[in-house]
Copies of this chain bind each other. A is one copy, B any other.
Amino acid sequence: MKYTNNYKPTLSDESILQVIIQERESVGYYNLVHQDTTQFKEYANGVQQKSIVVIGIGGSTLGTYAIYKYLKHSKILKKRLFFLETTDPIDIESKLDGIDLDDTLFIVISKSGTTVETISIFKYIHSLIKINANNCVVITEFDSKLNSYAKVNGMKTFEIPKDVGGRFSVFSAVGLVPLAIVGIDIDALLKGAKEVYSSFFSQGKDYKNIMRKARFFVESKNSFNINVVFSYSSRLEGFNKWYVQLWGESLGKIDINASRQGLTPVGLIGPIDQHSFLQLIVEGKRDKTVTIIKVNDFANDLKIPAVELEGLEELNYLNNREFSSLINMQADATVEAINNLDDIPCDVITIDDVSESAIASLMYEYELLTSVCGQFLSINTYNQPGVESGKIILKNKLKG
């Protein structure tokens, strides 16, 4: 007997890694960890305004918001950051209310340069205050029409590389410029992301975790079509939104066999939603995997005092307990309740602390996880044909 075949292993961890290494040549986000951040920091140091308003939507804001929301209360930041991202008129008015527009830098971010919502809001700002090179900076692709506008008006611009998709752009100028301006250490962000990068590509612990998790998610996708993230910190709310966007838009695709794929992301805040959504997880259909995210060290010693409340003495066991210990015990209790059932897939991610490197590590880990899931699913992780039809319909309605 003699055998020949052209079979290539496609689903071994090693072969997926090889594809990802190839992909790294053409998908720009991987290499953002190697960036020289000098130009961002130099520009940031020169910004005089006290309020920074980002005008953008989706990929242009969610990642920045995730990092800002996580860090803003635990650092002394020099400036305040605001986001104008929806077309709800009452929301636009209420957000602008209380911002001193004369002391504001506007950062207009649109990858394509012609995002309807972003340009609409930007135009509206023109009716409130004179916009010029002193109070406006633009972040877009180098050849977009928004870039032309900026050049004509002598405005500073930063480039979004063509090969970095909006939802993977948080570690490009999109996130680094506004974050550097308000005083977040962007080198520490990249350091955190780079640790995960290095661990992944050298097949260290992040590689093992991501491969195991992605393989499980994809292999069991017909039973478990939903992934629920329970974040045990209110300040991970922005991360949750970013994750929902990243996961939904990247993995909801038609695969090479014209079969519909997609794992539905749900983002929850643990200490609140363990009182409600957990019911659905525990007694409901077994269609969910659960990821618990904990913060190891809150660096905060806020404590429940030894107060005795008449009638409520049975709760004296709470006395002298730190809130950081309470919230982590809540997380542990949820994990234990789920694991006791033995039929709900659950993983726990513990991030180190409330720091730049911790949140960046988490986000970069999720970007890699998304890329690897996309490979296991045999889809294009980086396009978004499904959101285009609505955009075309909208443009026609607006023109018509």
> Measuring CB to CB, which residues of chain A are less than 8 angstroms from any residue of chain B?
57-59, 73-74, 85-94, 113-114, 116-117, 119-120, 122-124, 126-127, 145-149, 152-153, 167, 225-226, 232-235, 244-246, 248-249, 251-254, 260-262, 264, 266, 268-269, 271-288, 298, 300, 302-305, 307, 309-312, 314-315, 317-319, 321-324, 326-327, 329-330, 332-334, 336-337, 340, 354, 384-387, 389-391, 393-395, 397-399
Contact = CB atoms under 8 A, between A and B. Distances in A.
A176 to B, nearest CB: 21
A302 B92 contact: yes
Most buried by B among A57, A94, A321, A323: A323
A253 B278 CA distance: 11
Given A304-B123, A310-B153, A89 B280 contact: no
Contacts of A285: 225, 252, 260-262
Contacts of A282: 252, 386-387, 389
Closest 7 CB pairs of A and B: A262-B284, A252-B280, A252-B284, A282-B386, A148-B311, A89-B302, A89-B323
A86 B394 contact: no
B273 A245 contact: yes
A283 B87 contact: no
Contact of A283 (B354, B386, B394): B386
Nearest to A326: B87
A146 to B, nearest CB: 7
A53 to B, nearest CB: 16
Given A249-B279, A273-B245, A309 B119 contact: yes
A374 to B, nearest CB: 13
Given A73-B94, A271-B87, A283-B253, A120 B318 contact: yes
21 contacts: A88-B327, A89-B302, A89-B322, A89-B323, A90-B354, A116-B315, A120-B326, A124-B304, A127-B305, A146-B311, A152-B311, A248-B273, A249-B276, A252-B277, A253-B284, A260-B284, A261-B284, A274-B387, A280-B386, A326-B398, A332-B397
A211 to B, nearest CB: 23
A268 B265 CA distance: 11
Q: How many copies does the complex hold?
A: 2
Contacts of A148: 310-312
Contacts of A252: 277, 279-285
Contacts of A268: 244
Contacts of A333: 390-391, 393-394, 397
A275 B58 contact: yes
Contacts of A89: 298, 300, 302, 322-324, 327
Most buried by B among A251, A283, A309: A283
Contact of A124 (B272, B302, B330, B386): B302
Contacts of A398: 317-318, 321, 326, 329
A393 B336 contact: yes
A395 B329 CA distance: 9
Contacts of A384: 276, 279
A337 B273 CA distance: 32
B262 A149 contact: no
Given A87-B271, A248-B280, A252-B284, 6 more contacts: A73-B91, A88-B323, A117-B326, A145-B314, A149-B311, A264-B264
